[in-house]
Chain A
Amino acid sequence: MIEKYEKIIGEDELYAIYKVAERLKDFSILHINSTKAGGGVAEILNRMVPLMKDLGLNVDWKVIRGEEDFFKVTKSFHNSLQNGVGVLPEKAFETYDKWQAINASEVPLDYDIIMIHDPQPLGLIDFKKKGKWIFRCHIDISNPYPPVWDFLKKRISKYNAMVISAPAFARDDVDIPQFLIPPSIDPLSVKNKPLKEITVRRILHKYGINDDKPLVVQVSRFDYAKDPVGAIKAFKEARKHLGKLQLAYVGSPASDDPEGQEVYEKTVKEAENDRDIYLLMLPPYSDLEINAFQTGASVVMQKSIKEGFGLTVSEAMWKGKVVIGGRTGGIPLQIIHGITGYLVNSIEGAAHYIIHTIKNADQANEIGERARIHVKNNFLITRHMTQYMETMLYVTERTMPEELRKSQA
Chain B
Amino acid sequence: MASGKIVKTFITPLGKENPVFVQILGICSTLAVTNKLENTIVMTLGVIFTTTLSSFTFSILRKVIPARIRMMVETLIIATFVIIVDIVLKAYMPDIWQQLGPYVGLIITNCIVMGRMEAFAASNPPGLSLIDGLSSGIGYAYVLIIIAFFRELLGSGTIWGFSVFGDWWSNWAIMIMPPGAFFMLAIFIWIVKGRMAE
- Binding partners A and B: no
